[in-house]
Structure 1
Amino acid sequence: MDNYLICTSVLLDGGAQMLEIADSVQKVGDAMVQQFGQTPQEACWILAVNTQMRVLEVNRVAMGTLDSVTVHPRDIFRRLVALNAYGFIVVHNHPSGSLRLSQADRKLMTQLAMCSGVMQFHFLDFMVISSRGYTSLRSQHWLTEISVETLYDLWTKNDKV
């Protein structure tokens, strides 16, 4: 699923602004960069979607410091359950401008993949954004169907970092 369909308007962060999200990874990435790319601290947002891929909510689930943010999967999934969401897109910023995943980002992605499998939510994408642009892990084929054994291997390797 390199592209996902999202056709709606959503209120961002308490309704401050409206955002049009169209029909592609690029449009979602561009919109997120425009809205959050200049954020001076690391943060993490979730775009929750329904079965028709309409955005239910864009919610900041964590705010960190200049170079780190702590994201707890329970905070993400608590909100997804409350919204009766079908799936979600994770958007995480790097104020440094880097679009590369850190080890902490990889660990979070693995945790979310594990939890979404167990809770039966569709983990649609993990995007890293900055003022320079975005990286979509779905487009880079990082988010694929993986077995529990593969997840366990990823989890144990990431724990050693």
Structure 2
Amino acid sequence: MTRRWGKAGVPLTDAETRRNDARRNKTAAERVLADQRTYREWRAGKVVPWRITLALDSHALYGPEVDEACGAAEPDVDMWEAGTRYPTWEQLKKLAKLTMVTPGFFMIRPAELLPAQTSMQFHRIGGERAEWRQPPPVLLFTPEAIAETVRGAD
């Protein structure tokens, strides 16, 4: 058994090391279950296009380099954001890695109200309020886009 260290250079006892290893293995098993659940959600068409836009915009990722990094061809990522082409599972995982989120992030439904629909737009200091009046987010993929991609995953 290799020596593991605790707080401030204090070596862990064998029992503490075993407990930490068991906890780490449990976390890995939970991750596998979460990945399986996320995969089932992807197959069910639960990816939210707006989440893709949100993740890309938060990292200022634009252009054909994004398509390439996701294993897609231009203009696939634009079509993902528009809800007209559904990403494959592998593409979604690459997108998640690129934007530093989990694939499950893309399945989270947005809140019922967007900032432009609340008084939040009047609390901004400086800047133009016009940015709050953007077109509504794309929240669903077309059924045809989902069917075409998921059918190919069988």
Normalised by the length of structure 2, the TM-score is 0.22
Work out which of the two has the higher radius of gyration on C-alpha atoms and give 1 or 2: 2
Of Structure 1 and Structure 2, the greater helix share is in 2
Normalised by the length of structure 1, the TM-score is 0.22
Give the number of the structure with larger relative contact order, counting CA–CA contacts within 8 Å between residues 6 or more apart: 2
